[in-house]
Structure 1
Amino acid sequence: MKEIRFEHVYKSYGKTEVVTDLNLTIQKGERLILLGPSGCGKSTTLRMIAGLEDVSSGAIYMDQQKVNHLPSGKRNVAMVFQNYALYPHMNVIDNITYGLRVQKVPADEIKRRTEAALDMLQLKEYKDRLPKDLSGGQRQRVALARAVVKQGDYFLLDEPLSNLDAQLRVSARKELVKIHEMYKQTLVYVTHDQVEAMTVADRIALMYKGKLQMVDTPDNVYHRPANIFTATFIGSPPMNVFNVDVQPDSIRFTSQTLKLSPEWSQHIQQTGEKDLAFGIRPEHIDLSKIPTPNSLKGHIKFVENHGNHYGVYMDIEGNEWIAMSESKRWLPHETVYIKPRADKIHMFNQQTTDSIGYPKSLNNGE
């Protein structure tokens, strides 16, 4: 299978720039998720790969060949659209095989591929139905089957699960990974759903306002975010992030001080950073009803029941914090003491919003 490479790619509609200086290599055979909020440029990026959108400037290479002006039909891509794009007058079998028949694939090969796809996606009993007689999940599987039988080098998916209910999305994600493990196409998948990204991706490419924010494994995107946007977009509830005053061995939140570990104090001094923002994920905060060493005092605003845990929202000197707790003993208006775990904190430059990195001992997992 083949790699895809973007070199300084821009895409504009008139004066509106939707993709800015995109440099990205999608490795052959990997599952890369293009993730980001609506309007960030991820679907436009996918459509440029497919040849459905022109490149304003820069170059896209597929298998080392520049494809800026190569027609979509010659790029050997299989694409699944958000709305499935099924032919309403054709039954399931005809929808799946139409592209192969146009390409004049031999009849026995069409039959072999189609039967395999029908088995894999559990569509045999629906093969004679029209799209209007199928549920949303069944139509989604037909669209996947149509892409699978093409056996292209590149498998492009534009929010293919967004129309499914929560339970069906889970089973469909598993099916997608199974399909990819079988055929090993270079898979590019667009979504705004971070759960899909974290569960499906080999790597995540996070975009915001047309710019690439971070490209890395799901673990690194979550635990070592490159900037404040990444830190707050990934994770539910999002990371707590607040501007702080930096002292030699501590950080100050208005009138309360949190002592830093020697590793963090040394790291901050070595970077020379002064104006910092402090970050901590909700699950990395310990709560107590009595003061504990190096804790901050606050008051509980409200508590959300998440089923197997509780989201505890707190006011600490005018800032809203959230922590996750397995206990339901927390009540609104109570005084609470919070202690961020020293090895789980993050620091960002206030101006650039970029991470200042981590002490070597933490990067080494010590």
Structure 2
Amino acid sequence: MTYNSTLLRRPGAVEAGGLDAGVAAHYGDPYREQRLLAGVHVAAAQGKNLTAVVDLSHRGVVTVSGPDRLSWLNTLSSAQLTDLAPGVSTELLLLSIQGRIEHDVRVLDDGATTWLIVEAAEAAPLAAWLTGMRFMLRVEVADVSGLWAVAGTVNPVTEWSERLCWRDPWPHIAPGGFAYTAVPEESHPGLDRSWFEYLIPMADLDAAVGVRPLAGSWAAEALRIAAWRPRLGAETDDKTIPHELDLLRTAVHLAKGCYKGQETVARVHNLGHPPRRLVFLQLDGSQHTLPAAGSAVLLGERQVGTVTSVAQHFEMGPIALAVIKRTVDPAAELTVLDAGEKYVAAQETIVAPDAGQVVGRQTGFLRVPR
């Protein structure tokens, strides 16, 4: 069934495609929306200072309830969840036997229910798989995507302080995590992007947003790309392992017990290197178009990777994320080829070519501000 957000009725709304189909790409002024979301965090409306929000109501929401929920999810996933306190945000991966990413899940527990926020197409298969893994445990799984909407913002919303809220832990290194980038945590560009995702009853979405300024998915994507934040379905394919995207930083606990895919995680981390690595690309801005996701990344005339996400940033101009071969020289100038058009691309290293041989730094979970 095709989803169309009620906020698409707002003036100027233009629907997005791809992963964000069903919500607005923008509301008529993409650059202003991005500035509002990224820089000028508040805007005056009817005498109030209001934080801009992004409609993410197409996202999937799955709930897990029951007294065994956290210990059960802990045995299935890459994250350490047995001691997850109410109101604390984290991230987990569900992997294949070969260690490839099948689900990337935002996790929040309220003391009685664990809330799992995923990409739109992931909710039904995730709920079905979890249901099949219950056995005799005291857990109940439900896909509640039709009942709950998600709204994203860079700042906490004062009026929503009592709502459930997931705060993106990126780029802080979670307990048991490991950084695969050589950039120190205190210099990581992801620190410029705080990110909150609020859970709102679907029927209340329009009223909850009210006169608050709206920014489209294009604005959110530009900030995500600039923060080097990978996204399931964009930076991933059927071969992606967590190391290639620096996801050991926030979504993998290297010292926890056995889970599906752990052998690959440990082997690559301790004995080798991932075959590919995520890079940030600054694209030549002389063209009036952007290359599409899926475009080839070339070193000379040889393809060495693929563009995974692309956006026009309000300050940096055209930017992209790409996954390339690990052995590509980090200093090499690359080109992006799309429908015969070539774009010069200067790379910035995200996952280091020698990833696995650097020293990790650990911090704590992030607690949602109240």
TM category (shorter chain) comes to: under 0.3
Structure having the higher helix fraction is 1
TM superposition score normalised by structure 1 = 0.27
Structure with higher Rg: it is 1
